[in-house]
Chain A
Amino acid sequence: MTYIYSLFQYIPFIAEGVLWTASLVLGGLGIGFIIGLPLAIAQSFGGKKLGKVLNAYVWFFRGTPLLVLLSLFYWAIFPSFGFKLDPLKTSILVLGMRSGAYQSQIFKDSIKSVDYGQILAAKAIGMTQRKLILYIVLPQALRISIPAWSNEYAVILKDSAICFALGVMEILTRVRYVSTATGLALIPYLFAGILFFVLTFSGTGIMDFIHKRTRIPGMVEGLR
């Protein structure tokens, strides 16, 4: 009984981890968007040489396990450039750079799915490349990206738990503390699972809502 009581005491402590997890996820997604969208535009409309350089970035971040990236940037890369970043900031940046690589692929595919005829039509009425990207390609590509982007949210949410390795006070890190302190495992970890479940489904639910609201009338997706 006292065990259970002390466990309840820890619930606010674990729940506070939601704020940390949310910072990781929203920060990572945001930085990923800021990196990923220009990257996709450059890969789609830039030259071959630029494409190769950018591909190297994408392959590095997609091909390296997150745990390795986190350690590499925390212990080696940031310090060697003279940055002393705390674990949270490091984690957000690493998640962001990595998500940028994944998001660039999402946006690249969506840009590719805007058919070339529309691009020709935009040129024919005198649009510059910048204008046709801004007014014709992106409004469609971003809409098409929403389901994949929603999936990226779910992925980064799960990945954020790996940041416990740097001691970031996110949900999982706190659960481990509680588990150690109380000697209990099932209930703390179950609670963590429920939190992640709720976060996943509320987030993707919001994205579904946005997707439905921005639907182009009459257009059947996937059949274009």
Chain B
Amino acid sequence: MIVLRAEDVWKRYDDTIVLRGVSLNLKKGETKVIMGPSGAGKTTFLKCLNLLVKPDKGRIWIDGEEITSPKADITRLRQKIGFVFQELNLFHHLTAIGNVMIGLTKVKGMSKSDALKKAKETLKRVHIEEELWRKYPAQLSGGQKQRVAIARALAMDPIVMLYDEPTSALDPGLSSEVLLVIKELSERGITSLIVTHELGFAYEVADEIVVMNRGRIIGGGSPEELRNAKNDEVRNLLNKWNGLKDGVLV
């Protein structure tokens, strides 16, 4: 069953065309990774999927409903997509648990006590322990912040989680705790679409890796298939990544 479907998505900013007809399907339970050099349009594509950026052309369906339709109830459909951003953007004025609860109470209309219970469960799932629940974002490490951000998205019970380079804003060393959480969630059947520069992690977690360059999908396949890719452009990019320290393309 396809839970997320993008068809021929185009986007331009002034005179640069950032997305040139990107199409992608995501099946229930599947984990896909998008890789590509800086400026390829990965962030823009993810933001198009929940209409944080409005595509110029193309159609997108979430759970069978078209979010790009003029009649779409965008705020309702957005709740079905969990989004974890490249930047660390927790709500500064709320505690860790407050960050997770606010969507439940103010968007889903849950009672405070139900939201609290759910927030606690979700924070445990991302390995944020009780002593951190009442801390404010400024009192958390980058890795902790990003895990709270995952919990904030996850608590809304989305049908798919999108991660946009969730570790790129973190100090080296803090990445692994975040990647571990993403991997655990993916293994437990959370449908995931992950943008990452960490090749090793991509090979480990992905059912399929999609390679993007200059606004197009230029290739893809299972990690196995990709390692033996015939396509020159894909091979060149992969070699470049492989040659880099820790497989991280900066």
Contact = CB atoms under 8 A, between A and B. Distances in A.
A140 B98 CA distance: 14
B138 interface: yes
Interface stretch (A41-49, A124-132, A168-176): A124-132
A124 B89 CA distance: 12
29 contacts: A117-B85, A118-B91, A123-B52, A124-B52, A124-B78, A124-B81, A124-B83, A124-B85, A124-B153, A125-B78, A125-B83, A125-B102, A125-B107, A126-B76, A126-B78, A126-B103, A128-B75, A131-B106, A131-B107, A135-B106, A136-B91, A139-B93, A143-B93, A217-B135, A217-B139, A218-B138, A218-B139, A220-B138, A224-B92
A120 B106 contact: no
Interface in B27-68: 47, 50, 52
A155 interface: no
Per DSSP, chain A at the interface is helix
Contacts of B79: 125-126
Interface in A195-224: 216-220, 224
Contacts, number: 79
Interface in A95-140: 115, 117-118, 120-128, 131, 135-136, 139-140
Contact of A120 (B85, B92, B138): B85
B87 A117 contact: yes
B169 to A, nearest CB: 10
B136 interface: yes
A118 B90 CA distance: 6
The 8 closest A-B pairs by CB, nearest first: A218-B138, A117-B89, A126-B79, A218-B139, A125-B103, A124-B83, A219-B138, A126-B78
Interface string A55-75: 000000000000000000000
Contacts of A121: 83, 85, 89-91, 149, 152
A218 B107 CA distance: 27
A127 to B, nearest CB: 6
Given A135-B106, A136-B93, A217-B136, 15 more contacts: A117-B85, A124-B50, A124-B85, A125-B102, A125-B103, A126-B76, A126-B78, A126-B103, A135-B102, A136-B91, A140-B93, A143-B93, A216-B93, A217-B135, A218-B138
Interface of B: 47, 50, 52, 75-76, 78-79, 81, 83, 85, 87, 89-93, 102-103, 106-107, 135-139, 149, 152-153, 156
A8 B241 CA distance: 86
A126 B52 CA distance: 11
Interface residues of A, number: 24
Contacts of B103: 125-127
A113 to B, nearest CB: 11
A118 B92 contact: yes
A216 B78 CA distance: 29
Contacts of B149: 121
